[in-house]
Amino acid sequence: MHPAVARSIAYTGLWLLLILPLFLALLQARGPDFADAGAVLNWLGRLAGIAGLTCLLLAAALIIRVPGFDRFFGGLTSLWKIHHRLGAASFLLLLAHPVLLSFAASDVSLSAAVDILFPPGGSMAAFFGWCALVIMMIFLAPTFAFFGQPPYQRWKWVHRLSGAAVVLALVHTLMAGRTFPRPYDWFLWIALAALAATAIAYRFLFSRRLGRRRYRVADVAHPANNVVELSLEAEGKPLRYRAGQFVYLTPYDRNLAAGYAEEHPYTLSSSPTEGHLRLAIKDLGDSSRALQHVTAGSRVRVEGPYGDFFPESFGRELWIAGGIGITPFLARARHLAATGATADIVLIFGVQDEARALFRAELEALAQASKGFVLVLHFFYREGPLTREFLERHCPDFAERDAYLCGPLPLMELAQQFLLAGGSDIERIFTEEFALL
């Protein structure tokens, strides 16, 4: 199946699941639901609750990490962006749910509005609903830019509270829901909950056995002071992957200063034709810093592959990389040279200075060995930020190429701005980033 067709089917299916509960709710609408302003607000409050719970359950379902499944959504990064947006939407909708119901009751009296939020004598349904909202505030707060970027492992642990929020919100709905007739509401919510539960069970129980492969650190190379390239040898069935994909690496080296048995995503820098896996890792945190000194011979586990950055075949392409963002392009350049494929590729590699041009000598050799592969170095200390004039000078036909961007976010945003201003189609611009994966 063509990737574009598969992606269209995946997104259509997701939208249908999102819309189905709202559509069923609309079928239940009756005249009294729109009799006055209070009735309309009450109806909107119930719709907000239905939409919020649907978004929450689908967000939970999308945490599944089956290698290959993410390609239906354009890669794991795209899939998790959808997950994050659904989570944020669910929180806002579930927050609006009691507020709208309270406003609806305010037509009667202020005390009636307060009673909706905090029922007199206590209500287990309301209690579960408020608990779900509070927990969502705790685990969703770190994902908003206002709070800054949280430490990766802390974010992962806090995010596990989402399971409790899903259960509490579901119990609240089953106890207090009155939009759908019984038992149809139970069928609807339990079906969506089963989808989410299956994804959660696989993610936290079965993926550790089914999705991870055993490897050994065969070699440790240091292409730069703060960068290490690990060469991994399979201890069983080797991983099959495409150039530019990434994996989750879990090291089991007791000598590590940090990160023992912690998983982190890293891009594969090797060509699929190689016998070993290679991972280029820059010192960007405690775990990646510790991996600069990993012991050769120690064991690791690899889960993947993930991502859908590059197509399988080569074409007319523009690559724009910055810093360690060169890794997927290095893998694809190695694969290009290894297969002898025909291509028309321009790589613009932005670095601070000559000392930080990672893998420069190898990239220059690959450009010499591969027909149709042009390497262009851009030094920030000498030429300043990337400009449209620099882009047009070294790749005048960039608007006619598929563009692939990977590197610091400011560089990718600037490059995308120039590409779009120069006539590139947004559908032909592809980015790769790792934001709380």
Reported as a single tens digit per residue, the pLDDT across 276-314 is 999 999 998 889 999 999 999 999 999 999 998 998 889
Same domain, residue pair 217 and 204 = no
Number of domains in the chain: 3
Show which of 183, 209, 235 is a domain's final residue. Answer: 209
Tokens found for residue 415: 């490059």
Per-residue pLDDT tens over the stretch 56-73? 999 999 988 888 888 888
**What is the reported pLDDT for 5?**
80
What is the percentage of the chain residues whose pLDDT exceeds 70?
A: 94
| 227-234, strands of its sheet edge to edge | 264-267, 246-252, 299-306, 212-224, 227-234, 277-282
Residue range 219-247: mean pLDDT, rounded? 94
In a domain, 342, yes or no: yes
The Cα angle at residue 70 between residues 151 and 194, in degrees rounded to 5:
90
**What is the reported pLDDT for 407?**
92
Residue 161 has pLDDT above 90, yes or no: no
Q: Report pTM.
A: 0.84
User: Residue 24 phi/psi, 5° resolution?
Assistant: -65, -35
Same domain, residue pair 29 and 165 = yes
Using CA atoms of 96, 98, 99, 100 in order, give the dihedral in degrees to the nearest 10: 80
Same domain, residue pair 36 and 179 = yes
> How deeply is 375 buried, as exposed, middle or buried, from its count of CB atoms within 10 A (0-12, 13-18, 19+)?
buried
In a domain, 437, yes or no: no
Same domain, residue pair 171 and 115 = yes
CB 376 within 8 A of CB 394: yes
Same domain, residue pair 409 and 291 = no
Residue range 248-268: mean pLDDT, rounded? 94
Categorize the per-residue pLDDT at 388 as very low, low, confident or very high, splitting at 50, 70 and 90.
Answer: very high
Task: Name residue 347's amino acid.
Answer: L
CATH of the domain at 106: 1.20.120
In a domain, 125, yes or no: yes
Show which of 306, 324, 354 is a domain's final residue. Answer: 306
Q: CA 244, CA 333: separation in Å to the nearest integer?
A: 10
Same domain, residue pair 70 and 103 = yes
Q: Widest CA span of the chain, in angstroms?
A: 80
For the chain, give the mean pLDDT: 89
Same domain, residue pair 415 and 400 = yes
Same domain, residue pair 45 and 154 = yes
In a domain, 311, yes or no: no
**What is the reported pLDDT for 290?**
94
Residue 79 has pLDDT above 80, yes or no: yes
Same domain, residue pair 282 and 403 = no
Categorize the per-residue pLDDT at 240 as very low, low, confident or very high, splitting at 50, 70 and 90.
Answer: very high
Residue 112 has pLDDT above 90, yes or no: no
CB 105 within 8 A of CB 117: no
Per-residue pLDDT tens over the stretch 165-186? 888 998 999 888 878 887 888 8
CB 324 within 8 A of CB 227: yes
Separation of CA 286 from chain center: 21
Residue 400 lies in domain:
316-432
* Range in 74-83, 228-237, 254-263 the model is least confident about: 74-83
Same domain, residue pair 270 and 162 = no
Residue range 79-96: mean pLDDT, rounded? 91
Same domain, residue pair 275 and 383 = no
Categorize the per-residue pLDDT at 14 as very low, low, confident or very high, splitting at 50, 70 and 90.
Answer: very high
CATH of the domain at 397: 3.40.50.80
Residue range 122-137: mean pLDDT, rounded? 88
Same domain, residue pair 64 and 160 = yes
Q: CA 431, CA 350: separation in Å to the nearest integer?
A: 15
Show which of 168, 189, 209 is a domain's final residue. Answer: 209
CATH of the domain at 301: 2.40.30.10
What is the percentage of the chain residues whose pLDDT exceeds 90?
A: 59
